[in-house]
Amino acid sequence: MHICESLRTIRPTGKVVCDVFHGSQVLPRKVRIRKCHYHAIPDELWSPISGADAQRLVLKSICYHVEDNETILDEDLVSPLVDELFNSFADDVSFFTNDDCISHSIYDVAVIAENANGVVGLVCIEDDQQP
């Protein structure tokens, strides 16, 4: 099973969007986000984040409710999947998060991975799935 499919289905509540892009699928941030049906978050609201912090943010956001920090999943169960996802990105990738602008987004937490050509990875975690 593909790593993103595992991450999309592991969380029993809310929604996880996970995609990795290659070749012609690598598009500039605004285009990629629009193609993923993601709300348009202005570039200035995406905050740079280190790879290690991005990895921790994704792990914590999948394992705990963002609002109240209630445990959803054991970190030991999810950590190998998140590790595998982040290990698949090349060294030239930079990470960005919308974590500082949650109210502007349909997702509670989003992390994107970008290289010079565009977005190569996207993980979004929504606490409670919208109707």
The rounded distance, in Å, linking the Cα atoms of 105 and 40 is 8
pLDDT of residue 33: 73
* Residues contacting residue 82 through CB under 8 Å, at least 6 positions apart: 7, 55, 58, 59, 62
Rg (CA), the chain: 14
pTM: 0.86
> Do residues 54 and 111 make contact, with C-beta atoms less than 8 angstroms apart?
yes
Question: Could you tell me if residue 131 is inside a domain?
Answer: no
pLDDT for residue 127 is more than 60: yes
pLDDT of residue 43: 73
pLDDT of residue 99: 60
Question: Could you tell me if residue 41 is inside a domain?
Answer: yes
Residue 109 identity (one-letter amino acid): V
pLDDT for residue 108 is more than 90: no
pLDDT for residue 44 is more than 70: yes
> Do residues 123 and 110 make contact, with C-beta atoms less than 8 angstroms apart?
yes
The rounded distance, in Å, linking the Cα atoms of 31 and 26 is 10
Question: Could you tell me if residue 61 is inside a domain?
Answer: yes
In the chain, the largest separation of any two C-alpha atoms, in whole Å, equals: 39
The rounded distance, in Å, linking the Cα atoms of 131 and 123 is 20
Question: Could you tell me if residue 62 is inside a domain?
Answer: yes
Partners of 114 in the beta sheet?
A: 94, 119
Q: How many domains does the chain have?
A: 1
Range of the structural domain that residue 119 is part of: 3-126
